[in-house]
Structure 1
Amino acid sequence: MKNIFAIPLASGRLCSHFGHCEQFAIVEVENNAIIGESLITPPPHEPGLLPGWLADRGVTDVIAGGMGQRALDLFAAQNIKVNVGAQHKAPKELVGDWLENSLVTGSNACDH
């Protein structure tokens, strides 16, 4: 099974506010191994745009610090799984934690 993760970044680490990140790390996983990583720059922030934009890029999973309820609903409509409340780590560390079933998530860092 192949998973494609999108992780919002600021200065190369998880960005706490999903919609205002500098870049996304796109991390590809197949057979429980990371097989690729690339960085993409998102379009200018516009509420509701990113879920469809990431779905068009084949994303199946998101690891985020915080995300608004509307974005969570839009990702669910795209059948993209979202993990919120993740720690401020590098993308490969976060996906590695997910692969080992040790990804630490907590409360949604976004309250709007």
Structure 2
Amino acid sequence: MRVAIATEGDFVAQHFGKCPGFTIVDIENGKITRKNFVENPSYKSHQPGAVPMFLKNQNVDYVIAGGMGPKAIMMFESFGIKVFVGVTGKIEEVIEAFIKGTLTTGESLCERGEHRCQH
């Protein structure tokens, strides 16, 4: 399986569409077989729909982010890609929790209170 994690520095980015890039991890039999960082193609000029299509073309099965707008979630779901939002923490710890099946998710950080993103 292939997992893309919205990444900012060593942490899960709060908004997947505006993050600098994605940590893409291949996991087989509970072990990491490959991990690399890819730049977000619309980091400097956020274009709705561009990132879901980019990650679909990367053959991603799962996307993990702190926050994501409802249109992007629907687009990923239409591609058969499962989305986990409300995730925070260091990338390495998130990968470990995902593999163990203990990843803590919640409401999209992109949709809360005064930090509501404009989608």
SS in 1 for 2:94: helix
TM-score by length of 2: 0.87
Q: Does 1:88 align with 2:86?
A: no
CA-CA distance at 1:11 after TM superposition: 1.5
Taking the aligned partners of 1:12 and 1:100, their CA distance within structure 2 comes to 20
RMSD across aligned positions (CA): 1.1
Alignment coverage as a number of residue pairs: 109
Which 5+ residue runs of structure 1 have no aligned equivalent? none
C-alpha distance in 2 between matches for 1:46 and 1:57: 18
Task: Work out whether residues 66 and 108 of structure 1, in 8 Å CA contact, stay in contact via their aligned partners in 2.
Answer: yes
Instruction: Find the residue that maps to 1:82 and give its secondary structure.
Output: strand
Residue number in structure 1 paired with 2:69: 68
In 1, Cα distance between the equivalents of 2:40 and 2:31?
26
- With normalisation by structure 1, the TM-score equals 0.92
Deviation, structure 1 residue 88: 2.3
* Alignment of structure 1 residues 1-112 onto 2, 5 Å: 3-44=1-42, 45-90=46-91, 92-111=92-111, 112=119
Runs of 4+ in 1 over 3 A off after TM superposition: none
Residue 49 of structure 1: CA displacement?
1.0
Specify the code of the residue in structure 1 equivalent to 2:110: C
Unaligned runs of 5+ in 2: 112-118
